[in-house]
Amino acid sequence: MATTQHTSLIRRIAGILLPAALLLTITGCSTVKDTFDFLPFVDNGEETAVNQNAAADLLAQGMEAYNTGNYYDALQAFNQILDQYPFSAQAVEAELRAADCHYYRGEYIEAKTLYQEFEERHPTNRNMAYVMFQIGMCDFKRTDRIDRDISGAQDAINDFSKLLRSFPGSPYTKEAKAHIAAAKEFLVNHEYFVAVFYVRTEKYKQAEHRLKYLLKMYPDSAIAPKAKSLLARLEAGNPPRWGLRRWMPDLHMPALKFWESDADKDLQTKTKTP
């Protein structure tokens, strides 16, 4: 929805500029400024100041709602800035906060789209490390269970790895690494889950192949001891035929492991937009 709004905004601006340019050639206006004075983003002195004040008021309203967790009203205010005052000094902040609103409303696909658009339009913005971290969080948050779509975990690993390459010393480094570790453990558990499924369906050769691959690629994973035990049963010709539930891995994302000291517990408070 937000992407459509931004696309329509560009089209509306183009729809204004093209007829205005045609009018200039027809009427022979004395100056270009005379022709474009009616546009909200042309510097008309007093009118521009009024627009800036209006945008500032909307941003203040949006931030007040945002800071109290009222993300719906906050989003309305930020989108109003983007629609009515797209070239104001407040527009960039409104773009980022609109993405944040979608994120905190649990609308991770919409939020990721807006964060990515922000990254493309403002690559040197001071909040870029935060934006890249949030892109990773959008993919991480949409990850559900190992017996369902696992693309979120795969994408999150790529997102956080990109952040670590681009900003290796950012305040988000430790948490990004923790999320990468959890996402990798999630994918390992998925591999093990598939192996157990093959055991349940008595496809033992396929199960052995999966388990050997898992142990070769992820020998230090938390599930490795259980995978070794199951593989040993299969290789001995004694596959478990009942009680398979106890062989099942946790279906959900593993817990994060990155609190090394009490000081680190303040990390999450630093991952809000600066």
pLDDT in tens, 162-175: 999 999 999 999 99
Distance, CA of 102 to CA of 130 (rounded, Å): 15
Enter the tokens of residue 258. Answer: 């990155």
Q: Say which CATH superfamily domain 112-274 falls into.
A: Tetratricopeptide repeat domain (1.25.40.10)
Residue identified by tokens 């093990």 is 192
Q: What is the rounded (10 degree) CA torsion for 69, 70, 72, 77?
A: -110
Residue 231 contacts residue 208 (beta carbons within 8 Å): yes
pLDDT tens, residue by residue, 26-43 = 444 444 444 444 444 445
pLDDT per residue over 222-261, tens digit each? 999 999 999 999 999 999 887 777 777 777 777 776 544 3
Inter-residue contact 274 to 130 (CB < 8 Å) = yes
- Neighbour-count burial of 28, counting CB atoms closer than 10 A to its CB (0-12 exposed, 13-18 middle, 19+ buried): exposed
Q: What is the mean pLDDT of the chain?
A: 82
In tens, the pLDDT along 73-99 reads 999 999 999 999 999 999 999 999 999
**Phi and psi dihedrals of 145, rounded to 5?**
-130, 160
Q: Which run of H or E residues covers position 199?
A: helix 173-200
Are the C-beta atoms of 76 and 102 separated by less than 8 Å?
Answer: no
Q: Hey, where are the domains in the chain?
A: 1-105, 112-274
The Cα 196–Cα 203 span in angstroms is 10
What is the sign of the dihedral through the CA atoms of 194, 231, 250 and 264? negative
